């Protein structure tokens, strides 16, 4: 990125809206309470879209379909992104295809997991 409000070449961001990079950075405060790694580094974020109206749509998954903290993670994600300038509404949609696997984690996420004794 060339600046805090600019998107990569060829990608348009509605004026006054945060970039995908800024949204992902905001989402790094959201953690699965069962796994000590944020949802971005876990590889749970599948997509981010912004609308000129101030709507941010996040497509994500969880580590398992029956995750008992789905509502907590949704609320945390909505609150984290909702704090960004220009955001009026956040919609989090959970999807299960493709299924999550450890291969979706960032290298930083894998390193964090190993620090906590997980074998990844």
Mean pLDDT of the chain: 89
User: In this predicted structure, what is the pLDDT of residue 56?
Assistant: 98
Domain 20-113 has CATH 3.40.50.740: no
For residue 13, the model assigns a pLDDT of 58
Q: Residue 6 pLDDT more than 70? A: no
For position 69, what pLDDT does the model report?
Answer: 92
Sheet holding 45-50, edge to edge: 45-50, 55-60, 89-94
- Between 109 and 33, the more confident residue is 109
Confidence band of 100 (pLDDT split at 50, 70, 90): very high
Alpha carbon 4 to its chain centroid, in Å, reads 18
What is this structure's pTM?
0.85
Query: What stretches of 4-99 show up as alpha helix (H) in DSSP?
Result: 20-27, 70-82
First vs last C-alpha separation in the chain: 30
pLDDT at 90 over 50: yes
For 8-34, the pLDDT digits (tens) are 444 455 678 999 999 999 999 999 888
């Amino acid at each position: 990125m060339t600046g805090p409000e600019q998107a990569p070449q060829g990608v348009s961001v509605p004026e006054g809206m945060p970039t995908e990079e800024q949204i992902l950075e905001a989402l790094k405060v959201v953690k699965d309470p069962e796994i000590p790694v944020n949802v971005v580094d876990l590889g749970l974020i599948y997509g981010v879209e912004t609308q000129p109206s101030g709507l941010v749509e996040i497509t994500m998954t969880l580590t398992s379909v029956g995750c008992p903290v789905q509502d907590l993670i949704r609320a945390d994600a909505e609150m984290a992104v909702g704090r960004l300038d220009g955001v009026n509404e956040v919609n989090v949609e959970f999807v299960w295809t493709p299924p999550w696997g450890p291969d979706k984690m960032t290298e930083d996420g894998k390193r964090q997991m190993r620090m906590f004794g997980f074998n990844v």
